[in-house]
Amino acid sequence: MKVLFIGNSHTFVHYVPLRVMEYARKKNRKIEAVMLTHPGMGLDWHLEQSQTYFNILYGDYDAIVLQHNAHPFPGKRSLLNSGKKIIDLIPKKTKVYLYMTWSEKNNPKGQKKMSEAYEELARQTGAAICPVGKIWWEVKRVHPEEELYFEDGEHTSILGASLSAVVIGKTLLGRKCEAENCYEEAKELEKFRQDPRMIDLVMNEGKLEMK
C-alpha cells in the first residue's frame, strides 16, 4: 500500500509515517510512506505548494492521510474549506483518511470541537477517520501515569507518536481501534528507533527546534 501523508509537525515529529510502516511490517503487511509536511502549516498552505499537486495527481497513491493545523485548532470552517478543496483534487481510486489530532495538554475540552470538525468533513466527503484524538484522551484517562505529550504540551512524546501511528495503521489496514489495544501496541512500537541521522524536534533552552 502506497500512502501519502500531508500535514505538519504532528505528522513529522518522531516520524509518525515511519512508525506506521513499522506497525504494518509487524503485521506482515507493507506500507510505503511518502511525507509532505511543514512546521505549523495546515491544508490551506499545502494547497499553495506545487509538490502537493504533483504528488496527488501523479503519485499513484492507494491512500492519502490529511492532517490540518492543531494548536491552536483554527475551527470547523477552516478544516472544511481546505479539506474539501484538497479532497476534490484526489483521484477517485485513492482512499482518503483524516488524521484527527489531539487538543493541547491543558485544553482537554478542546478535543470535542476538533473531533466534531473532522467527523463533519468525513460526512461531507466520504473520507475515513483515523480517530487519534479520541483514542488519545481515552488512553490518558485510563493510563494517567503515561506521558503522551512532548515537553511543550502540544506535540507528541515517542509514546504519543507511536499511539498515533498505531491508530493510523489500524485504520489503514481495516482493523478496529480500541483504546486499550492501541495503547498496548503503542508501548511495543515505542521501542522502535529511527535512523539516528534523522532530524527531529528537540527543546533547546526552552525553545523548540529541529536538530
Helix axes 158-172, 16-26, angle to 10 degrees: 60
Whole-Å CA distances, 166 to 53, 62, 125, 162: 28, 19, 24, 6
Q: Per residue in 96-106, pLDDT tens?
A: 999 999 999 99
- Segments forming the whole domain that contains residue 81: 2-210
What pTM does this model have?
0.97
The number of folded domains in the chain is 1
Instruction: Match 477552516 to its residue by C-alpha cell.
Output: 78
Q: Is 157 left (phi over 0), alpha (psi -120 to 50) or beta?
A: beta
Whole-Å CA distances, 129 to 53, 98, 122, 124, 196: 22, 5, 7, 12, 32
User: Can you give the CATH number for the domain in which 37 is found?
Assistant: 3.40.50.1110
Q: Per residue in 135-164, pLDDT tens?
A: 999 999 999 999 999 999 999 999 999 999
Whole-Å CA distances, 101 to 30, 49, 85, 105: 24, 22, 20, 12
Rounded distance between C-alpha atoms, residue 175 and residue 40, angstroms: 30
Rounded distance between C-alpha atoms, residue 203 and residue 164, angstroms: 21
Q: What is the pLDDT of residue 206?
A: 87
Q: Per residue in 168-196, pLDDT tens?
A: 999 999 999 999 999 999 999 999 999 99
Q: Per residue in 47-95, pLDDT tens?
A: 999 999 999 999 999 999 999 999 999 999 999 999 999 999 999 999 9
